[in-house]
Amino acid sequence: MVNGVDVQIHGVTHVFQNGAEPLAALREVNLAVRPGEFVSIVGTSGCGKSTLLRLVVGLLQPTQGAVRLAGQLPAVLQAQKQIGWMAQQPALLPWRTVHENVALPLLVNRQPHAPFTIDRSPAELLHLVGLSDFATVYPHTLSGGMQQRVALARTLATGASLWLMDEPFAALDELTRETLANELCTLWQHVRPTVLWVTHHLAEAVRLSDRIVLLSPRPGTVCGEIAVPLPHPRDDTTPDFQALLRQARAILQQKGSDRD
């Protein structure tokens, strides 16, 4: 069953007003995401990937264009607690234990008509991310990577219909990153929210996504899209996986050289 919402981004341009020198972060971005689709947004540093997520969640307003989630403004889904957000820095409550942080979405502002629930307890989610032994400790005692794993477990507990994820595995070692990516993919296939996943890690994008959207260097605009029809779980040593990786890399390299 698909529980996600559609995302429509129409002609979105965003310009930051930095004094006398405006900075164009995005230019005429058009993107349609189907309900339950897993889409990775990939591009070089500074191309506007994180800005695009902030526009989708409603933290920023586009200079031009429009964002609609299930036909509504982002603020509507925000009010309904249907957007799960995970940024590069874990926003954990320091006065709550690890278990209490993961359980928070089940206790605060829970919606009676959520589209689905994760049928795993906070303890099971902590086991999933490899932190069962740390349930009773406080966030400040954990490494940065371990804090991100707590934040991931908490995001999974929300039951939101749209997951916006801004490089959540960036602080993790490669083996843990792959393990969590596979587990996350299993959960996504089970509950099928819509996922927008920002990363600069091309192999991760191929491993997870239904589709990869490539952004050009700033001001970011969609310079390519790649469908990923491979079955899960995906083996990054196969010829098909490597061919998609080469295709994505070639598009980014070409667009980078076009700006030089």
Instruction: Please list the pLDDT of the chain residue by residue as tens digits (260 residues).
Output: 668 999 999 999 999 987 778 899 999 999 999 999 999 999 998 899 999 999 999 999 999 999 999 999 999 998 888 898 887 778 899 999 999 999 988 776 555 555 555 566 889 889 878 899 999 999 999 987 788 889 888 887 777 889 999 988 887 788 878 887 887 888 788 888 999 999 989 999 999 999 999 999 999 999 999 999 999 989 999 999 999 999 999 999 887 655 54
At 79, phi and psi to the nearest 5? -65, -30
Residue pLDDT, tens place only, 100-157: 999 988 776 555 555 555 566 889 889 878 899 999 999 999 987 788 889 888 887 7
What span, in angstroms and rounded, lies between the C-alpha atoms of 113 and 93? 26
In a domain, 186, yes or no: yes
Count the domains in the chain.
Answer: 1
What span, in angstroms and rounded, lies between the C-alpha atoms of 53 and 215? 13
In a domain, 2, yes or no: no
Average pLDDT, the chain: 88
- Bond into 35 cis (ω within 30): no
Report yes or no: 162 and 68 within 8 Å, Cβ to Cβ: no
**Burial of residue 237, with CB atoms counted within 10 A of its CB: 0-12 exposed, 13-18 middle, 19 or more buried:** exposed
In a domain, 203, yes or no: yes
Q: Which domain holds residue 192?
A: 7-259
Predicted structure pTM score:
0.88
In a domain, 247, yes or no: yes
What is the CATH classification number for the domain harbouring 199? Answer: 3.40.50.300
